Amino acid sequence: MTAFAPLILGAGMAAALAASYWLAIRPWFLTWGATPSEIAASMTGDDVISHPTEVSTRAVTIKAQTEDVWSWLVQMGYQRGGLYTYDCIDQLLGALDRPSAERIVPQFQHLEVGDAIPIGNGPDWPVIDLEPNRFLVVHIQERGMEYTWAWVLNELDESHTRLVLRIRSRLTRPLLAVLFHLVDAGSFMMTRQHLLGIKRRAEVAAWQSEEWLTAGLQRVSWYLPPSSSRQRRTTL
């Protein structure tokens, strides 16, 4: 019995760690940043994969207007605006050939249903539904798996937007399902950085636009005539 004690102890610890991951850590991975109502809500694109193997709903609040956030979404892709994740990893995997853009690229601001967002060594992301400034849905199909990504923009007020990303996947091969769960942490980190990358870029652009407008108004004020009330006091 004593000889097997280390094995039993090790197995027990492994089981405890696995249970902790499955019951606590993994659900956090799948719902990072999202509210209970966002997690439970039906979203555009949910009907494409009716019986998914896995569903994740993640979200961030962005201090920018919806149209400003949309500009970053619509220009995503290889040799376009990038993916806003960890560029070194995306370039290593062949998804990108350059760092993600830090500015809005005018020539990549048009996207329609039927277009495909290019992803380096593939597969590309076919656009199956979109409404400008509101939502974008892509449906990717590979051998043994398919998944949808749906980005939804909800306006909170005139200067804040809620960006919700839902990913639904279906795996048709048991081995793929096992491998899929083994890379949960990496997938979460890349997706989280994708949302934070959009957030940072949109907020910086909004701040720069606000600073530019404020500076412009200050410059214009130098050329404005004195107020009428001051003119009257001067006249008296």
Question: What is the rounded distance in angstroms from the CA atom of residue 97 to the CA atom of residue 115?
Answer: 20
Question: What is the rounded distance in angstroms from the CA atom of residue 104 to the CA atom of residue 108?
Answer: 8
What's the Rg (C-alpha) of the chain? 24
Other CB atoms within a 10 A radius of the CB of residue 82 amount to 25
**pLDDT at res. 236:** 37
Question: What is the rounded distance in angstroms from the CA atom of residue 138 to the CA atom of residue 176?
Answer: 21
Other CB atoms within a 10 A radius of the CB of residue 189 amount to 14
Instruction: Return the residue matching tokens 């605006």.
Output: 81
Question: Could you check whether the bond before residue 52 is cis, i.e. omega within 30 degrees of 0?
Answer: no
Average pLDDT over the chain, rounded to an integer: 85
Other CB atoms within a 10 A radius of the CB of residue 88 amount to 10
User: Model confidence over 136-154: pLDDT tens digits?
Assistant: 999 999 888 899 999 999 9
pTM of the model: 0.81
Q: Which of 135, 113, 110, 109 is nearest to 125 (CA)?
A: 113
How far from the centroid of its chain's Cα atoms is residue 190's Cα?
Answer: 10
Which DSSP letter does residue 234 get? H
Token pair, residue 129, equals 């539904």
Token pair, residue 99, equals 């760092």
CA distances from 42 to 112, 126, 138, 156 (A): 23, 21, 16, 18
State yes or no: pLDDT of 17 exceeds 60: no
Token pair, residue 38, equals 């966002």
CA distances from 168 to 49, 87, 121, 138 (A): 7, 24, 22, 11
Q: Which of 85, 65, 88 is nearest to 77 (CA)?
A: 85
User: Model confidence over 18-31: pLDDT tens digits?
Assistant: 555 555 578 899 99
> Residue 122: which pLDDT band, with cuts at 50, 70 and 90?
confident
Phi and psi at 128, nearest 5°, equal -110, -15
User: Which H or E run includes 154?
Assistant: strand 145-157
Domains and CATH numbers, the chain: 31-210 (3.30.530.20)
Looking at the chain, how many residues does it have? 236
User: Model confidence over 26-59: pLDDT tens digits?
Assistant: 889 999 999 999 999 999 999 999 899 899 999 9
Q: Mean pLDDT over residues 214-221, rounded?
A: 52
